[in-house]
Amino acid sequence: MIVIYTSPSCSSCRKVKQWFDEQKIDYVEKNIFVATLKEAELKDILMKSENGTDDIISSRSKIIKESGIDIDSMTIKQLIEFIRKNPSILKRPIIVDDRKIQVGYNSEDIRAFIPHARRIAMWECMKGNCPKFDYCDHALDSKGE
């Protein structure tokens, strides 16, 4: 299952949700300001991020700047608790599935979330061997149009 961590005022979050809707890919949206993130969710995000906190935490965050907090000196437990109390320090959107994570909206990278079987079908479609799929722009109807 794909989970998208969002905030209401985030334009990139809206783009990501629109892309998933257009692709007809199911996802669960979690507004980071409405529901407190669970410890397990944050551990999962941290484990999947290539560069650890650099990938998911905004160093430009007002809370980090004003408090002088050194994220790198925190234990995992302290970091998770800090994020849970201050979700605004997270970059957004954060897209997570069972294997990968993407932070922010990137029109090329987001395609990695298209299910493998659909990518194969789309590839065949682009080669002209296209069954009719509602998500495929290249699909021909039964008349070949």
Half-sphere exposure (CA, 13 Å, Cβ side) for 115? 11
125 is catalytic: no
Picking from 18, 4, 24, the residue whose alpha carbon sits closest to that of residue 121 is 24
User: Is residue 6 a contact partner of residue 17, using CB atoms and an 8 Å limit?
Assistant: yes
Picking from 144, 120, 134, the residue whose alpha carbon sits closest to that of residue 24 is 134
Q: What is the DSSP string of 40-65?
A: HHHHHHHHH-TTTHHHHB-TT-HHHH
How far apart are alpha carbons 88 and 8 in whole angstroms?
A: 12
Given 10, 13, 130, 136, the catalytic residue: 10
Integer CA distances (angstroms), 19 to 16, 26, 29, 113, 142, in order: 5, 11, 13, 11, 28
Q: Which residues are catalytic?
A: 10
